[in-house]
Amino acid sequence: MKAPKPPTKRFSVSGITPLLFLIALALLPGWAAALDFRSVTAERAVAYDAPSIQAKKLYLASKYFPVEVLVSLDTFTKVRDSAGDLYWIEKKDLGDARTVVVTAPRADIRQAPDKNAPLVYQAERDVALELIEPTQTGWAKVRHRDGQSGYVAVSQVWGL
């Protein structure tokens, strides 16, 4: 009598069944789109190298400056800025208002989401703009703090 054959091993990635693996892959684009951006609401927010007011002060972030939230603790939030720098800011200095910062030398703000639309104004590098509405067309509707609004190409700003 022959010994029974051991069952063949099913495909797995680190113990994950194929179905779960495919579900996880399908969720990745949604996860990437769900980045958590905030903006500085204090006139000046201290950026620290650790989550403590006794930590080394790195620099001051100005009001409206957008950041990506990475970790949120009781009183501090670890963030990333448009340059990719990581630091901690007191949670009380951040708000839910969405802003973007111009990363191009000069961003063209247009009347409509089209590169041929009339120019409303230009914003210099590092200017923060209020995000009114992101679009799926490669443009975002923004407003300057002086009240002018229009559309900017998402390739010219960071914070979306």
Would you state the pLDDT for residue 148? Answer: 95
**127 and 87 assigned to the same domain:** no
Would you state the pLDDT for residue 134? Answer: 83
Would you state the pLDDT for residue 34? Answer: 55
For residues 96-101, average pLDDT? 93
pTM of the entire structure?
0.73
User: Are the C-beta atoms of 36 and 69 separated by less than 8 Å?
Assistant: yes
- Provide the domain count of the chain: 2
Residue 24 inside a domain? The answer is no
Q: How far apart are the first and last CA of the chain?
A: 67
**123 and 83 assigned to the same domain:** no
- DSSP element (H, E) containing 47: strand 44-48
Residue 64 inside a domain? The answer is yes
**76 and 114 assigned to the same domain:** no
* Rounded Cα gap, residues 83 and 38, in angstroms: 16
Q: 86 is in which domain, residue-wise?
A: 37-95
Amino acid at site 54: Q
Residue 27 inside a domain? The answer is no
Amino acid at site 115: K
CATH code of 68's domain: 2.30.30.40
**79 and 124 assigned to the same domain:** no
Low-confidence winner among 69-78, 127-136, 146-155 (lowest mean pLDDT): 127-136
List residues bridging with 67 in a β-sheet.
38
Domain's final residue, options 95, 123, 141: 95
- DSSP element (H, E) containing 87: strand 86-90
Would you state the pLDDT for residue 100? Answer: 96
Q: Position of tokens 């590092």?
A: 126
**41 and 90 assigned to the same domain:** yes
**84 and 107 assigned to the same domain:** no
Domain's final residue, options 60, 77, 95: 95
Whether 159 shows a pLDDT value over 70: the answer reads yes
User: Are the C-beta atoms of 45 and 67 separated by less than 8 Å?
Assistant: no
pLDDT digits (tens, 9 = 90+) for 4-43: 555 444 444 455 455 444 444 444 444 444 579 999 999 9
**108 and 83 assigned to the same domain:** no
Would you state the pLDDT for residue 62? Answer: 92
- Within 8 A by CB and 6+ apart from 73, the residues are 51, 91
- Within 8 A by CB and 6+ apart from 84, the residues are none
Q: What does the block give as tokens for 4?
A: 């029974």
Residue 144 inside a domain? The answer is yes
- Within 8 A by CB and 6+ apart from 16, the residues are 24
**71 and 122 assigned to the same domain:** no
Q: Position of tokens 């939030």?
A: 77
**108 and 150 assigned to the same domain:** yes
Would you state the pLDDT for residue 22? Answer: 43
